[in-house]
Amino acid sequence: MNENFFADYKKFIVVPEDEKRVGKEVFAPEHYSAHYILTMSIFDARLSTWRDAGKFEIDIEKSIKAVLEDFNQKQHKNYHLELLELDKFTNYFILALSCKTKFEQGKENDSIGHIIDHMLMNPFYVGQKWFTLIGEKGRVERKLFCYSYMEYKLEAQDYSTKEGKYDNVSKLIPKNVRKHGDGSCASMPNELAPNELSLVSNREQ
């Protein structure tokens, strides 16, 4: 065979879709039908604040970002997760969950629970070794997270910037109803700011 037969092979290279997406896609809220703010804490925790995680040789921020990056790559057709808040002096962190298709009314709790318990838990529990952060009860029940959530509603506005992209979820406006992981509901004062809503949700778990 002529050794120059494939000399122009570069013209025929097609990079697989997922490879092109990694690290290049900017979050665009207008492409999603619903958004939820999740307040996550450790079930049966062995640490009082995230500062204690170093005792277990775990970098909390690095762990969370690694799991979210993998989740967003695998679930980009359906969901997007973004870390909004992580304070080393607290024992919870805040995530934004965006969904391409809005959850069926009345089944939001089951849908969000499925994402946390079946899509997120194992990558944290095994992959990032967060099983070391929970006590015997958590290991027996194989439960890692306690959580609460609130739906965010997109305000009627233009989400494009000068560059034509928007990657800040902080402009989303919260509804005044919060739903816990156990399905219960509570009314929330309209005047509370988003960060206050998250804090209230965590305190009332």
pLDDT 10s digits, 138-186? 999 999 999 999 999 866 444 443 343 334 444 443 443 344 444 333 3
SS3 of residue 205 by DSSP: coil
- Is the pLDDT higher at 179 or at 52? 52
pLDDT at 177: 38
Q: What pLDDT score does 19 carry? A: 52
Q: How far is CA 164 from CA 27, 79, 117, 172, 173, in A?
A: 12, 21, 35, 18, 21
The reported pLDDT for the residue numbered 8 is 80
Average pLDDT over residues 87-106: 95
Under the banding of pLDDT at 50, 70 and 90, the label for residue 18 is: low
What is the pLDDT, as a whole number, of residue 6?
A: 79
Q: Quote the tokens at residue 66.
A: 């690694």
- Whether residue 195 has pLDDT greater than 50: no
Say which range, 1-15, 114-128, 134-148, 180-194, has the weakest mean pLDDT. 180-194
More confident residue, 10 or 126: 126
Between CA 104 and CA 121 the distance in angstroms is 23
DSSP single-letter state for residue 27: P
Exposed (0-12), middle (13-18) or buried (19+): which is 98, by Cβ within 10 Å?
Answer: buried
- Position 14 scores a pLDDT of 80
Please determine, for residue 68, whether its predicted confidence score (pLDDT) is greater than 70.
yes
Q: Given this model, what pLDDT does residue 4 score?
A: 80
CB atoms within 10 A of CB 49: 13
- Tell me what pLDDT residue 154 has: 61
What distance in Å separates the CA atoms of residue 46 and residue 52, rounded to the nearest whole number? 9
Q: Read off the pLDDT band of 78 (50, 70, 90).
A: very high
The gap from C-alpha 57 to its chain's centroid, in whole angstroms, comes to 23
The proportion of the chain whose per-residue pLDDT surpasses 70, expressed as a percent, equals 69
Higher pLDDT, 96 or 183: 96
| pTM (predicted TM-score) | 0.67
Q: Nearest 5 degrees, angle CA 111-CA 114-CA 117? A: 150
